[in-house]
Structure 1
Amino acid sequence: MKNDFKASEIENMSSDEKREFAASWFRTFHDDPVNEMPWVEGEYFYPYGGPYYASEVLYDHFDGILSDEEIERVVSELESDGVMEWAPAGNHPDQIQAYEDYVQSESEWLRKHSAVQEAENALLELSEMAYVNRHAEPDTLILRMIFVQCWSVLEGFSLNILKKHVFEEEAVRKRVVEEIPCIRNRKFSVKEIQDKIDPVQDAIFEHFETRSFHNSAIIKMFLQAAFGEFESAAIDIKTELATIRNLAPKRHDCVHRNGKTVEDAPTGVDYNDVESLIGASRSFVAKTGALVARELYKQEGVAQ
């Protein structure tokens, strides 16, 4: 990792100021792994680089700028809370590179695949599995698993169709920026603009990734932001969104309470719920694909 500071900036500081600067710099790029890394089989897993050791990092970057004694005092301060191994923080170059690699692989996958076709295939498989288990008692694990997986397909489809067209359509990207205030008002540092290939696209994806795409209102809001007036007399998704919205409480019970309500009663997921959700999702996917195609055609016509 290259220094983002110049030795001349700190060489005239007092010893206390130098140590404070070095500690603050280290904490800017490194974090306690409990905040950043997954715990796997009894230890932290570092998929984005690390673990890092304060002594090694500080000697790499401050040797010759701080004395050995000053560096060791900074190390002692950093490790005083018991953290000996450090993870890359969100703005560490390793984290940034990992995210850019993810975005690149995601964009390549989305360019090669149809969000509509992938979702339709997945929902067909779930429908076949549900039919095989149509006589299962309500709340059996298999029905709950199919039910929850259907939600995953629905969320994945909604996110993928947005991301695909943000990647591929400049007009869609501009609409999202214009229609979503927290993206429109986002400020970028000179360093972000310099370091990131496409900071605007990254900001859009970061916003998408933090939203709940099992919420019918969120789904509709983002689709409308990206593709314009998102319903017509010919293609109406209100019925599908209503079914999805009505079944959302059972999803919450299955995902967050292992199939129990707040009163600790079984949530009551049965074959009819599963088939209703799959049917609404299949119709939603097909209609949304048609609506997106229509809106993109209209936008293209206006642009020409």
Structure 2
Amino acid sequence: MGKAKEWMMEMQEQAGDRHLAKLLGISYDDLMELEWQISTDESNEGLVYCYIVEFSDDSPSKILSKIDRLDDDNKVFLAPWEMEAEYDYINDQFDAITESRNTYKTFLSEIDQLLNLSQLQNEGDELKKILNRQIFIGLIGCMETFLSDVFLKLVFDNKMYFRSFVKNHPEFKIRKFELREVFDQLEQLELNVKKVILDTIFHNLPSVRSMYIATFEIDFPSIGTMQKHVLKRHDLVHRNGKTKDGCELIIEDSNLTKLIEDLKNFIKPIAKELEIEV
């Protein structure tokens, strides 16, 4: 299964969990602390009468107490139309990103954790080679997450940035509509902006650099060094760890150390420019 497909499945599963949390009247984080299983009460012909969400007795009682519909057996009964309603996929993704506020601190913490993970296997071990490849990919993912989360948050926290994004992004320059449609377009504008940002590939650094400069009017660091790392990540993900010439890429601990150093040197100036806590 490809990485993109795995990511889509993960996002769909998360959207389902967020939908369930809303039905229960608790936060997504609360739901993640609970242990539960879902079953159905249905006819022999497969007609679903209701969905039954049953929580483990080991689940935190302080969270269970927040669920108004919970019965004495730690069960919640949900009508089919409740569970089968379409998820607000774009807004659920947006909520997932904007719930976290310590973006730069999270970035530093995640790359430190990945570095610690690399110490689990000894140099020369076959598993070490596989592990370091995955850590390298994960470190580039940390950069993507930082760039996407910060961009999304700032655009929706600041009306000036929001206006600047819509004014300058190529997607909105090519859209045409009649004047009589202006109010319908305004109603959909926030949703369309969310979708454009969420659909952006944030390891496409030339595009991301242009977006950051046009929207925030900041000095964006040179992307040359990081672009080389991104291309190596491309080989690891899409060519099974081989270059175009068929040579195998070996990721040593020194490569990870260098990548982390370059990541910090790349991200910190952006955080400073945007006055994010560093």
The 1:265–1:103 alpha-carbon spacing in structure 2 relative to 1, beyond 3 Å, is closer
2:88 maps to amino acid: A
Asked if the contact 2:218/2:273 (under 8 Å) is kept, the reply is no
The 1:39–1:282 alpha-carbon spacing in structure 2 relative to 1, beyond 3 Å, is closer
| Partner Cα distance (2:90, 2:202) in 1 | 23
| Partner Cα distance (1:160, 1:257) in 2 | 28
Corresponding pairs, count: 200
Q: Which residue of 2 aligns with 1:291?
A: 273
For 2:161, which of 172, 177, 192 is the aligned residue?
172
For 1:129, which of 106, 111, 117 is the aligned residue?
117
2:98 maps to amino acid: L
Alignment RMSD: 3.7
Q: What is the Cα deviation at residue 199 of structure 1? A: 2.3
The 1:136–1:100 alpha-carbon spacing in structure 2 relative to 1, beyond 3 Å, is same
The 1:242–1:137 alpha-carbon spacing in structure 2 relative to 1, beyond 3 Å, is farther
Asked if the contact 1:150/1:278 (under 8 Å) is kept, the reply is yes
Q: Which residue of 1 aligns with 2:197?
A: 208
Q: Which residue of 1 aligns with 2:246?
A: 264
Higher helix share: 1
Q: What is the Cα deviation at residue 221 of structure 1? A: 1.3
Q: Which residue of 2 aligns with 1:116?
A: 104
The 1:125–1:147 alpha-carbon spacing in structure 2 relative to 1, beyond 3 Å, is same
Asked if the contact 1:133/1:143 (under 8 Å) is kept, the reply is no
Q: Which residue of 2 aligns with 1:30?
A: none
Asked if the contact 2:137/2:236 (under 8 Å) is kept, the reply is yes
Q: Which residue of 1 aligns with 2:151?
A: 162
| Consecutive unaligned residues in structure 1, runs of 5 or more | 1-35, 50-93, 232-236, 295-304
Q: Which residue of 1 aligns with 2:95?
A: 105
For 1:140, which of 114, 129, 138 is the aligned residue?
129
| Partner Cα distance (1:262, 1:145) in 2 | 19
| Partner Cα distance (2:92, 2:181) in 1 | 20
After superposition, what is the alpha-carbon deviation per residue over 1:210-257, rounded to whole angstroms, capped at 9, x for unaligned?
3321122122112112210324xxxxx22xx32211122221111112
| 1:285 match: secondary structure | helix
| Partner Cα distance (1:259, 1:265) in 2 | 8
Q: Which residue of 1 aligns with 2:62?
A: none
| Partner Cα distance (2:172, 2:192) in 1 | 7
For 2:227, which of 226, 232, 245 is the aligned residue?
245
| 2:175 match: secondary structure | coil
| Partner Cα distance (1:244, 1:39) in 2 | 26
Q: Which residue of 2 aligns with 1:278?
A: 260
| Partner Cα distance (2:194, 2:119) in 1 | 36
| Consecutive unaligned residues in structure 2, runs of 5 or more | 20-84
Q: What is the Cα deviation at residue 263 of structure 1? A: 3.4
Q: Which residue of 2 aligns with 1:223?
A: 212
Q: Pick the structure with greater CA Rg.
A: 1
Higher strand share: 2
1:262 maps to amino acid: K
| 1:293 match: secondary structure | coil
| 2:246 match: secondary structure | coil
| Partner Cα distance (1:100, 1:145) in 2 | 28
Q: What is the Cα deviation at residue 172 of structure 1? A: 0.8
| 1:160 match: secondary structure | helix
| 1:102 match: secondary structure | helix
Q: Which residue of 2 aligns with 1:6?
A: none
| Partner Cα distance (1:245, 1:39) in 2 | 25
